[in-house]
A and B are shown apart, each in its own frame.
Chain A
Amino acid sequence: EDKVVQSPLSLVVHEGDTVTLNCSYEVTNFRSLLWYKQEKKAPTFLFMLTSSGIEKKSGRLSSILDKKELFSILNITATQTGDSAIYLCAVEAPGSSNTGKLIFGQGTTLQVKP
């Protein structure tokens, strides 16, 4: 069965800490992996990864994909309270490449304390 597993499920850190969120997947005919951030209701897009070993970076956030080991990590450096959110990892559903059908992990709830 195709699936996406995120860890940890929840995490509490203090401002300034660096965090690493994990996402492993088992899906046939993998094509791409996406990260989203959900603060209140609407998830917002962070990164899309298709190639192994190439880091995507945006400010304090970065992500990398390992297609051999079937996982991705999302790093957040110098965390701020505004980083508190649910971080969602998703992969394209097999047979539905480049459409709106994604398989999501359960998410990692990050709380950043002042």
Chain B
Amino acid sequence: KAGVTQTPRYLIKTRGQQVTLSCSPISGHRSVSWYQQTPGQGLQFLFEYFSETQRNKGNFPGRFSGRQFSNSRSEMNVSTLELGDSALYLCASSHLTRGSGANVLTFGAGSRLTVL
């Protein structure tokens, strides 16, 4: 059974550019969450999608956006990149829609973004 797949694994951008990251959840998982991980802040929640709808949102500026497709694959986009956006972006999926255990997440290996 394939795990959570994130692409690209590494990318380098310059300030002002935009970036799109992709996440394919485990087959059958309908919930996809995104997290930003930096050395100073740890893992911070960006947003969660379920059945193509944003179910939860973290405290990030509007430059961070996402979407989910009918096959549960998800993308996140960051526009007008800033140096502080350099981070590991982790995607996670869950097999339960709601109820106990729905927050037990399976994470992908992440996309390492460097902004120069």
Listed in ascending order, the chain A residues whose CB lies under 8 Å from chain B are 32, 34, 36, 40-45, 48, 50, 88, 90, 92-93, 96-107
Contact B32 A43 (CB under 8 A): no
Contact B90 A43 (CB under 8 A): yes
- Residues of chain B lying within 8 A (CB to CB) of residue A99: 31, 48, 50, 55-56, 98, 102-103
CB contact between A102 and one of B3, B45, B55, B100 (< 8 Å): that residue: B45
- Could you tell me the dominant secondary structure of chain A's interface residues? loop
Contact B104 A48 (CB under 8 A): yes
- Residues of chain B lying within 8 A (CB to CB) of residue A34: 103-104
Contact A104 B105 (CB under 8 A): no
The answer for the CA separation of A105 and B41 in the assembled complex, in Å, is 9
> B99 — nearest CB in chain A belongs to which residue?
A98
